[in-house]
Amino acid sequence: MGFGDLKSPAGLRVLNDYQADKSYIEGYVPSQADVAVFEAVSSPSPAGLCHALHWYNHVKSYEKEKASLPGVKKALGKYGPANVEGTTGSGGTDSKDDDDIDLFGSDDEEESEEAKRLREERLAQYESKLAKKLALVAKSSILLDVKPWDDETDLAKLEERVRSIQADGLVWGSSKLVPVGYGIKKLQI
**What's the whole-number mean pLDDT along residues 104-129?**
79
In the chain, the amino acid numbered 67 is A
The pLDDT of residue 111: 65
**What's the whole-number mean pLDDT along residues 164-176?**
88
**What's the whole-number mean pLDDT along residues 43-72?**
83
CA distance 33 to 36: 5
In the predicted structure, residue 185 carries a pLDDT above the cut 60: yes
Whether the predicted model's global pTM rises above the 0.85 cut: no
In the predicted structure, residue 22 carries a pLDDT above the cut 70: yes
CA distance 129 to 41: 69
pLDDT per residue as tens digits for the range 130-150: 887 766 667 888 888 988 888
Q: Give start and end residues of each alpha helix (H) in the chain.
A: 9-18, 32-40, 50-60, 95-100, 113-132, 155-163
The pLDDT of residue 107: 57
* Residues with Cβ within 8 Å of residue 5, at least 6 apart in sequence: 11, 86, 88
Contact 69, 24 (CB under 8 A): no
Residue 152 exposure: Cα atoms within 13 Å on the Cβ side: 0
The pLDDT of residue 164: 92
